[in-house]
Amino acid sequence: MTPKQTIQEFIAAFVAAWPERDAARVASFFSDDAVYHNIPMEPVQGLQAIEAAVASFMTMGGQARVDVGHIVADGAIVMVERVDYFVADQRTIVLPVVGVFEVHNGKIPAWRDYFDSAGLAAVREDRKDN
For all residues of the chain together, what is the average pLDDT? 84
Confidence of residue 34 (pLDDT cuts 50, 70, 90): very high
Which pLDDT band holds residue 104 (cuts at 50, 70, 90)?
very high
Could you tell me which of 120, 67, 61 has the C-alpha nearest to residue 87?
61
Number of Cβ within a 10 Å radius of residue 107: 16
Question: Where in the chain are the domains?
Answer: 3-116
| CA–CA dist 78, 118 (Å, integer) | 25
* pLDDT at res. 127: 54
In this prediction the pTM is 0.81
DSSP 22-84: -HHHHHTTEEEEEEEEETTS--EESHHHHHHHHHHHHTT-SEEEEEEEEEEEETTEEEEEEEE
Q: What is the mean pLDDT of residues 78-97?
A: 85
pLDDT of res. 13: 86
In this predicted structure, the answer to whether residue 72 has a pLDDT above a threshold of 80 is yes
Quote the pLDDT of residue 12.
84
Distance of CA 127 to the CA centre of its chain: 20
3-116: CATH, from 3.10.450.50, 3.40.50.300, 3.30.1360.40, 3.40.718.10: 3.10.450.50
pLDDT surpassing 80 at residue 100: yes
Rounded-to-integer distance, Cα 23 and Cα 16, Å: 12
Span 15-31, pLDDT tens digits: 888 778 888 988 999 99
Residues 49-67 have pLDDT tens digits of: 999 998 887 776 667 788 8
